[in-house]
Amino acid sequence: MVPLLLVALAGFGAQMVDGSLGMGYGLTSATLLVAIGLTPVMASASVHFAQVGTAFVSGFSHGKLGNVDKTVLRRIAIPGGIGAFIGAMLLSTVSTALARPVMNTILLVLGVYVLFRYLRHRVVTLRKGRPGKRFLSPLGLIGGFIDATGGGGWGPVTTPALMTTGRMAPHRVIGTVSAAEFIVAVSASIGFLVGLGLAAVDLTVLLPLLIGGVIAAPFAAWVARRLPMRVMGVAVGGMIIVTNTFSLMRTFEVAGSVMGAVLGLMAVVWMSLVVMVTVQHFAAKRASGELDAAKQPTSV
């Protein structure tokens, strides 16, 4: 009973992170499932079957709150679904071990760029227009493939890439990525069913993950809508840096004590930066309110 509760809590926590920051569900959930004894194939399958439900509720919630760019959604979701189906079909025969460190390094660089962009500019101005099809289609295809083969990766690949374009507010990036994840999860699940049959479905793992994620999804979408753009940018950038640093250290088999110390220090710095920009945001908002009040005519 306790393991099932832990899986449900992991699903809740993973969806809170994923729905509010645009990444983390697959990485968190798949890591836990492998740790409790599932094979990588079964872990990835379970995560994607659960995400069919959680991503639907998350996408619906983000849509209701105005967090979704429907044009970008169409351009990225369909290629993402194709990539996820192919990745699920090839998971048992294709190894991504060599490609993963390269991808983690690229994402780490993007994370540093996103973090410093939102740290440096107290007022972040978005560029006009949307990302084009030539950018979104390959991004969706690669993100979907990596997501299916690695048990997670849709958010970590697509969220930082969209953030670095400077054309979408962070909450719109996260909402659009979360909504597109439904198509990716459905496509990957079909691929796993075709490749593995009903053996891919483990209800004792699937149901707790699904229930925890579905409960968390509306709250996470609300958080994404309410967070100030600069605070969210710093939070997302830090998340990208920490998760990809962890993946690189695990790939190169860094000692556990060293890994723990590095990640602990990074987490403290990351949270300190989030607190700093939050304080700066509310201080600027308060100063702006006082200035507006001073400009109001006084009654005699």
What would the mean pLDDT of 267-276 be, rounded to a whole number? 93
How big, in percent rounded to 5, are the helix, strand and coil portions of the chain? 80, 0, 20
**Token pair in block for residue 252:** 């190169």
> Which residues does 233 contact at the CB level (< 8 Å), separation at least 6?
114, 115, 117, 118, 124, 163, 170
Q: pLDDT tens digits for 242-266?
A: 888 887 888 888 898 999 999 999 9
* CA neighbor of 23 nearest in space, from 177, 205, 184, 215: 177
Closest-CA residue to 177 (of 215, 224, 210): 224
Distance CA 297, CA 300 (A): 10
Is the CB of residue 83 less than 8 Å from the CB of residue 143?
Answer: yes
Q: Is the pLDDT of residue 112 over 80?
A: yes
What does the pLDDT read at residue 293? 62
What DSSP designation does 98 have? T
The set of residues, in sequence order, having a beta carbon less than 8 Å from that of 184 and lying 6+ positions away, is 51, 55, 77, 80, 81, 83, 84, 143, 144, 147, 148, 154
pLDDT in tens, 202-254: 788 788 888 988 999 898 889 888 888 788 888 888 887 888 888 788 888 88
What are the backbone dihedrals phi and psi of residue 166, each rounded to the nearest 5 degrees, phi first?
A: 70, 20
Least confident range from 33-42, 119-128, 148-157: namely 33-42
At residue 100, the pLDDT reads 67
In angstroms, what CA-CA distances link 166 with 27, 70, 125? 26, 17, 8
Band of the pLDDT at 106, cuts 50, 70, 90?
A: confident
What is the Rg, in whole angstroms, of the alpha carbon atoms belonging to the chain? 20
> Is the distance from CB of 149 to CB of 30 less than 8 angstroms?
no
Give the integer Cα–Cα distance in Å for 123 and 156: 25
**What does the pLDDT read at residue 1?**
46
Question: For position 300, what pLDDT does the model report?
Answer: 47
**Model confidence at 2, in pLDDT bands (50, 70, 90)?**
very low
pLDDT digits (tens, 9 = 90+) for 24-46: 777 667 766 766 666 666 777 77
What three-state secondary structure class fits 126?
A: coil
36 versus 177: which is more confidently predicted?
177
- For residue 23, how far is the Cα from the chain centroid? 1
Looking at residue 183, what is its pLDDT?
93
What is the average per-residue pLDDT within 129-140?
Answer: 91
Taking only the tens place, the pLDDT of each residue in 73-105 is: 999 999 999 999 988 887 655 555 556 677 678
Q: Cβ distance 77 to 184 under 8 Å?
A: yes
d(CA 254, CA 146): 23
Q: Domain-by-domain residue ranges, the chain?
A: 2-103+130-227
Q: What is the DSSP letter of 96?
A: -
Q: What is the mean pLDDT of residues 7-30?
A: 77
Question: What crossing angle do the helices spanning 2-21 and 170-196 adopt, rounded to 10°?
Answer: 130
Q: How many percent of the chain have pLDDT more than 70? A: 83
Q: What is the mean pLDDT of the chain?
A: 82
Calculated CA dihedral for residues 239, 245, 250, 255, nearest 10 degrees: -120
Q: Tell me, yes or no, if the pTM score tops 0.85.
A: no
Question: What pLDDT, on the 0 to 100 scale, is given for residue 276?
Answer: 93
- pLDDT surpassing 60 at residue 14: yes
CB 183 within 8 A of CB 190: no
